[in-house]
């Protein structure tokens, strides 16, 4: 004769068998860790895009159940403080701030985030300095860091990172050399202490689901949000995204290894073609002795100065820098943020519902 506790346990097991997990419940279980870390309805983290990820788009993403992130970029402390305040005026939901580790006022920017009670600080663009890490942690915020390799992932966790983002070369903007499919296989099985978010080339819910099942806690998307209705990007910029195919988003090309070019993925246009010609002309001037190495390097680097703003704000998509990931081929229309997030969730749920172990869709 079973005791009362064992009987209750047996009834619980039987009740569970009679009420199987729905596809939506399965999705919520898969990204539960990411949702808990971000404090959001979905574990969809927005990539920080300069000139695009400002308070209107950030608040819209957070209000729709995702996690918006302000792109601080080259902002100074006062401007960042105003941007955070403007975001808080539009949403009561969690959002983060992305800071570039090479910013000369990094410590002051961290202080602004802590004083404004920003819950999550993303340190990107290099290995986070110890002073900034300690300031974020001591201030009570959660620290998110980027890693391009397993060895650095382990180091960042040891140094205090609360979560990691692994971003593949499919992403838009400044990129590394390794695809997300490879990074995920290298890193996800071995990093369990903190949540890991995947990024780069993600444009559909089925892809998010596949990485969740590999061990990711959520996904970061940028390109689809850049063309959202709430994005302040120029209509020409959004129209270029809608027209583009994946093969149109290519990394910048370096002509000579003596003069490194940081790879930036964007849509090929007249500007990218002129950049090749500019590099070739600069190399000739260097080889002839007209320019020394430092001057030649600066001349190449300055070609794109202000180019992103020209594309995003002014709408010059022929001469500006139209940074976009390869997922741009999945941008078929300018959609509200809430519609994009709902679509991603529905795609993941539908993929789960199509499996034999789910009798009815959730």
Q: Quick one: angle between helices 205-214 and 337-353, nearest 10? A: 60
| Ordered strands of the 163-167 beta sheet | 44-46, 218-221, 196-199, 163-167, 142-146, 120-124, 95-100, 68-71
Q: What is the pLDDT of residue 357?
A: 82
Q: What is the pLDDT of residue 359?
A: 55
Q: What is the pLDDT of residue 11?
A: 44
Percentages helix, strand, coil for the chain, rounded to the nearest 5? 50, 15, 40
Closest CA to 98 of 86, 88, 83, 115: 83
* Residue 19 in tokens: 């009420």
Q: What is the pLDDT of residue 14?
A: 45
- Residues of the chain predicted below pLDDT 70: 1-19, 359-362
Query: Which residues lie below 8 Å from residue 1, measured CB to CB, with a gap of 6+?
Result: none
* Residue 206 in tokens: 């089925």
Spatial distance between the Cα atoms of 50 and 291, rounded to a whole number of angstroms:
32
Q: What is the pLDDT of residue 358?
A: 80
Query: Which residues are 45's β-sheet partners?
Result: 67, 220
Q: Is 39 left (phi over 0), alpha (psi -120 to 50) or beta?
A: left
State the pTM of this model: 0.91
Q: What is the pLDDT of residue 15?
A: 45
Encode pLDDT of 180-197 as tens digits: 999 999 999 999 999 999
Letter string b/e over residues 60-96, b meaning 16 or more CB atoms within 10 A of that residue's CB: bbbbbbbbbbbbbbebebeebbebbeebbebbebbbb
What single-letter DSSP state applies at residue 43? -
As assigned by CATH, the class of the 21-233+331-353 domain is alpha beta
Residue written as tokens 């990394």?
251
Q: What is the pLDDT of residue 19?
A: 62
Ranges of each domain in the chain: 21-233+331-353, 245-323
């Amino acid at each position: 004769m079973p005791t009362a506790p064992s009987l209750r346990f047996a009834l619980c097991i039987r009740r569970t068998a009679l009420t199987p997990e729905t596809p939506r419940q399965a999705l919520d279980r898969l990204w539960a860790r990411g949702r808990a870390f971000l404090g959001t309805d979905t574990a969809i983290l927005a990539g920080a895009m300069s000139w695009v990820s400002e308070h209107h788009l950030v608040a819209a993403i957070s209000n729709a159940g995702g996690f918006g992130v302000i792109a601080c970029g080259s902002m100074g402390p006062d401007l960042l403080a105003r941007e955070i305040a403007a975001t808080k005026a539009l949403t009561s939901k969690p959002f983060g701030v992305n800071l570039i580790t090479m910013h000369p006022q990094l410590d002051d920017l961290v202080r602004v985030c802590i004083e404004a009670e920003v819950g999550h600080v993303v340190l990107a663009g290099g290995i986070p300095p110890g002073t900034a890490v300690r300031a974020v942690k001591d201030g009570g915020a959660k620290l998110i860091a980027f890693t391009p390799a397993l060895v650095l992932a382990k180091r960042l966790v040891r140094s205090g990172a609360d979560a990691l983002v692994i971003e593949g070369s499919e992403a838009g903007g400044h990129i590394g050399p390794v695809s997300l499919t490879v990074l995920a296989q290298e890193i996800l099985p071995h990093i369990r202490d903190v949540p890991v978010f995947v990024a780069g080339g993600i444009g559909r819910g089925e892809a998010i689901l596949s990485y969740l099942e590999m061990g990711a806690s959520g996904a970061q998307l940028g390109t689809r949000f850049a063309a959202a209705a709430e994005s302040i990007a120029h209509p020409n910029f959004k129209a270029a995204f809608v027209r583009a195919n994946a093969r149109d988003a290519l990394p910048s090309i370096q002509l000579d290894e003596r003069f490194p070019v940081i790879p930036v993925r964007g849509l090929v246009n007249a500007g990218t073609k002129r950049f090749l010609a500019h590099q070739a002309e600069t190399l000739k001037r260097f080889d002839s002795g007209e320019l020394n190495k430092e001057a030649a390097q600066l001349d190449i680097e300055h070609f794109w100065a202000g180019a992103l703003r020209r594309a995003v704000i002014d709408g010059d998509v022929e001469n500006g820098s139209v940074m976009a990931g390869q997922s741009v081929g999945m941008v078929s229309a300018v959609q509200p943020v809430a519609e994009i997030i709902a679509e991603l969730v529905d795609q993941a749920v539908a993929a789960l519902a199509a499996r034999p172990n789910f009798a009815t869709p959730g």
